[in-house]
Structure 1
Amino acid sequence: MQIELSAGTVEYTDTGGAGPVVVFVHGLLMDGSLWDGPVATLPGHRCVVPALPLGAHRVPMPGADLSLLGIAALLAEFLERLDLREVTLVGVDTGGALVQLLMAGGAARVSRVVLASCDAFDNFPPGLTGKTLFLAGKLSPRLFGAFMQQLRLRAVRRLPIAFGWLTKRGDAVSAGWIRPLLKQPAIRRDAVRALRAFAASPGILREAAERLPAFDRPALVVWASEDRVMPPEHGRRLAALLPKGKLVEVADSYTLLPLDQPAEFARLVREFTAG
Structure 2
Amino acid sequence: MVDTPAPSAEPLCATRFVTIHGHRRAYVLAGRPIGTAPVVLLLHGLACDHHDWDPVIPELAADYTVLAPDFLGHGESAKPRGDYSPGGYANGMRDLLTVLGIDKVTVVGHSFGGAVAMQFAYQYPERTERLMLVDPGGLGPEVTVLIRALALPGYDLGLRVLTLPGVRQVNTGALRLLGRLGGRATRDLGEVASILDSFKDAGKRYAVHKLVTGVIDVRGQNVSMRDRAYLTEAMPLCVVWGADDRVLPASHAAVASALAPKARVVVMPDAGHFPHKDHPGEFAGLLTDFIASTRPATYSRARWRRLLRSGGTAPELAPVDVATVQGEGA
CA displacement at 1:38 relative to structure 2: 0.9
1:170–1:260 CA contact under 8 A, matched in 2: no
Distance 1:174 1:40 in 2: 24
Instruction: Confirm or deny that 1:270 pairs with 2:285.
Output: no
Percentage of matched positions with identical amino acids: 24
- Among 63, 66, 71, the residue aligned to 2:81: 63
Seen in structure 2, the aligned counterparts of structure 1 residues 186 and 127 have a Cα distance that, compared at 3 Å, is closer
Aligned position for 2:39? 21
Seen in structure 2, the aligned counterparts of structure 1 residues 174 and 45 have a Cα distance that, compared at 3 Å, is farther
Aligned position for 1:258? 276
Distance 2:54 2:144 in 1: 25
Aligned pairs for 1:77-156 within 5 A = 77-123=95-141, 126-135=143-152, 138-139=153-154, 141=156, 143-149=158-164, 152=169, 153-156=172-175
- The Cα offsets for residues 63-113 of structure 1, whole Å up to 9 and x where unpaired, read as 321123322322232223323233111111111111122233343311001
2:108–2:131 CA contact under 8 A, matched in 1: yes
- The Cα offsets for residues 145-169 of structure 1, whole Å up to 9 and x where unpaired, read as 2234555323246779xxx979726
2:150–2:212 CA contact under 8 A, matched in 1: yes
Seen in structure 2, the aligned counterparts of structure 1 residues 7 and 246 have a Cα distance that, compared at 3 Å, is farther
Instruction: Confirm or deny that 1:34 pairs with 2:52.
Output: yes
- Higher-Rg member (1/2): 2
Q: Greater CA deviation, 105-114 or 190-199?
A: 190-199
**TM-score between the two structures when normalised by the length of structure 1:** 0.83
Distance 1:59 1:7 in 2: 12
1:213–1:243 CA contact under 8 A, matched in 2: no
Q: Greater CA deviation, 249-258 or 16-25?
A: 16-25
Aligned pairs for 1:161-240 within 5 A = 168=187, 171=190, 175-182=193-200, 184-199=201-216, 204-206=222-224, 208-215=225-232, 216-240=234-258
CA displacement at 1:133 relative to structure 2: 2.5
Aligned position for 2:303? none
Cα RMSD of the aligned pairs, angstroms, is: 2.9
Distance 2:287 2:258 in 1: 20
Match of 1:240, SS state, is helix
Which 5+ residue runs of structure 2 have no aligned equivalent? 1-15, 294-330
Which 5+ residue runs of structure 1 have no aligned equivalent? none
- The Cα offsets for residues 164-192 of structure 1, whole Å up to 9 and x where unpaired, read as 97972682x6544455531x333333333
Distance 1:167 1:81 in 2: 41
**TM-score between the two structures when normalised by the length of structure 2:** 0.70
1:27–1:94 CA contact under 8 A, matched in 2: yes
Seen in structure 2, the aligned counterparts of structure 1 residues 151 and 199 have a Cα distance that, compared at 3 Å, is farther
1:58–1:187 CA contact under 8 A, matched in 2: no
**Count of aligned positions:** 265
Seen in structure 2, the aligned counterparts of structure 1 residues 108 and 7 have a Cα distance that, compared at 3 Å, is farther
- Among 45, 56, 64, the residue aligned to 1:45: 64
2:71–2:77 CA contact under 8 A, matched in 1: no
Q: Greater CA deviation, 187-196 or 64-73?
A: 187-196
Seen in structure 2, the aligned counterparts of structure 1 residues 258 and 240 have a Cα distance that, compared at 3 Å, is same
2:46–2:112 CA contact under 8 A, matched in 1: yes
Q: Greater CA deviation, 67-76 or 144-153?
A: 144-153
Letter of the aligned partner of 2:151 in structure 1? F
2:40–2:64 CA contact under 8 A, matched in 1: yes
